[in-house]
């Protein structure tokens, strides 16, 4: 079970709710993925004519999946804190995915403001899941601020590149083996999700990779299977990689092994 701030979840996949072609596709994708939580934003803008307003929120509530409000689009501490407080009133949850963007081109988190906002929200009773980079020192500061969960990116939001800084992510995971970490942003295909789960991460959060896929429902199911497979593989303790070949079949009992008459 995935445990976040003392609350347990059966799934290790979190799913976003933006940019789906219509509410029916979103609904079916959620059913296919069976995620632990659904991320929602107060700033959400829908491109679908039937996917906005009260009907959208009613559908989300009807799915029976816990909601994780986020502060997407916030550029300052004050803006993020105010948005989080509004989200708590609307959605009735202390969970918040804290986003504070510091660069418009890469949508990279502003880790300095992130720590400040996290401290304020945690003192206010929030259970904060900060969207951060793979920087080890910044992550330590977030833990010092009171965060119990980290959400490092794999790559910039929506790029579908997979883990572009694989070494740094693995160092981060190894340095903090007991801290729940969910990879957030940049995954594109199920193999990306399986890979980070094999490295020991505790879950993944997806949006674009599913919502903008040719078949979002099928992709949601594929990611759910990949997350489970990667987690199971990690638990099974994979064979360490080697530089040289090593025969898997025994040589004892082979009648012609290195026999002189068969050499040359």
Contact between residue 171 and residue 118 where contact means Cβ atoms under 8 Å apart: no
Q: What is the mean pLDDT of residues 123-149?
A: 96
Buried/exposed 227-255: b ≥16 CB within 10 Å, e otherwise:
bbbbbeebeeeeeeeeeeeeeeeeeeeee
Q: Does the annotation mark 123 as catalytic? A: no
Q: Where along the chain do its domains lie?
A: 2-236
- Which residues define the annotated binding site for 1-deoxy-D-xylulose 5-phosphate? 158, 185-186, 207-208
Catalytic residue among 12, 88, 97, 192: 97
Of 184, 214, 211, give the one whose Cα is nearest residue 30: 211
Q: What is the percent of the chain where pLDDT is above 90?
A: 73
Q: How confident is the model at residue 254 (pLDDT cuts 50, 70, 90)?
A: low
Q: How confident is the model at residue 45 (pLDDT cuts 50, 70, 90)?
A: very low
* Predicted pLDDT at 42: 76
Q: What is the 3-state secondary structure (H, E, C) of 141-204?
A: HHHHCCCCCEEECCCCCCCCCCCCCHHHHHHHHHHCCCCCEEEECCCCCHHHHHHHHHCCCCEE
Q: What is the mean pLDDT of residues 82-97?
A: 93
- Which residues define the annotated binding site? 158, 185-186, 207-208
Q: What is the CATH number of domain 2-236?
A: 3.20.20.70
Q: Give 210-260 as a DSSP string.
A: HHTSSSHHHHHHHHHHHHHHHHHHHHT-PPPP-SS---SS--TT-TTTT-G
The lowest-confidence range among 33-37, 157-161, 230-234, 254-258 is 254-258
Q: How confident is the model at residue 110 (pLDDT cuts 50, 70, 90)?
A: very high
Contact between residue 18 and residue 73 where contact means Cβ atoms under 8 Å apart: no
DSSP class of residue 40?
E
Checking if the pLDDT of 184 tops 50, the result is yes
* Predicted pLDDT at 59: 85
Q: How confident is the model at residue 209 (pLDDT cuts 50, 70, 90)?
A: very high
């Amino acid at each position: 079970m995935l445990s976040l701030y003392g609350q347990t979840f059966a799934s290790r996949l979190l799913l976003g709710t933006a940019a789906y072609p219509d509410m029916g596709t979103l609904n079916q994708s959620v059913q296919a993925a069976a995620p632990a939580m659904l991320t929602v934003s107060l700033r959400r803008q829908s491109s679908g004519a039937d996917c906005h307003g009260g009907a959208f929120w009613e559908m989300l509530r009807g799915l029976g999946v816990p909601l994780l409000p986020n502060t997407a689009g916030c550029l300052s501490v004050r803006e993020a804190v105010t948005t989080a407080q509004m989200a708590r009133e609307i959605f009735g949850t202390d969970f918040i995915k804290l986003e504070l963007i510091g660069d418009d081109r890469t949508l990279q988190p502003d880790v300095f403001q992130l720590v400040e906002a996290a401290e304020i929200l945690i003192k206010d009773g929030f259970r904060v899941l900060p969207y951060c980079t793979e920087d080890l020192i910044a992550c330590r500061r977030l833990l010092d601020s009171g965060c119990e969960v980290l959400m490092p990116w794999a790559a910039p939001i929506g790029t579908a590149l997979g883990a572009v800084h694989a070494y740094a992510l693995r160092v981060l995971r190894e340095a903090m083996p007991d801290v729940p970490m969910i990879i957030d942003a940049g995954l594109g295909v199920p193999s990306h999700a399986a890979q980070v789960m094999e490295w020991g991460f505790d879950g993944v959060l997806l949006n674009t990779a599913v919502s903008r896929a040719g078949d979002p429902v099928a992709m949601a199911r594929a990611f759910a299977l990949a997350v489970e497979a990667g987690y199971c593989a990690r638990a099974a303790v994979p064979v360490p990689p080697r530089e040289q070949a090593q025969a898997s079949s025994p040589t004892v009992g082979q009648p012609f092994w290195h026999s002189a008459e068969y050499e040359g």
